[in-house]
Amino acid sequence: MKNIENREDVALLVHSFYAKIRTDTEIGPFFNDVIKDWDEHLEKLTNFWEMNLFGGRNYSGNPIEAHIEVDRNSGGVISTHEFGIWLNYWFATIDELFEGENADTLKRRARKMSTMLFLNMFNSRR
């Protein structure tokens, strides 16, 4: 078990995490319906989490808008249940591969972000 120390570590985490997500029967379809180029998505999410942890400017996107769009296109059915599944995989993947302060930080930040993303998604419905 090691700390999350660099981009390579983040890439391993992101790849391992989405390998689980893609094959989940409940939330996999949300991703597989939208994401046509998985290499590009994994690169983008590696940039996102690398920037989140180590700084820099290599991610430039809008996660709130992206999730409002995903929710709208799937008929507004994404709930805290789906976010719970997402978070469980995130925690499980981190625990399988890493330990230490950055591992804890990525768990905490994802938990906070899930609340923020879900609230924005929910509010956009009305």
Contacts to ligand HEM by CB under 6 A: 27, 30-31, 34-35, 44-45, 48, 61, 63, 66-67, 70, 78, 82-83, 86, 110, 113-114, 117
Mapping DSSP onto H, E and C, the string for the chain reads CECCCCHHHHHHHHHHHHHHHHHCCCCHHHHHHHCCCHHHHHHHHHHHHHHHHHCCCCCCCCHHHHHHHHHHHCCCCCCHHHHHHHHHHHHHHHHHHECCHHHHHHHHHHHHHHHHHHHHHHHCCC
66 versus 92: smaller Cβ distance to ligand HEM: 66
Residue at shortest CB range from ligand HEM: 61
CB 107 to ligand HEM: min, Å: 10
CB 61 to ligand HEM: min, Å: 2
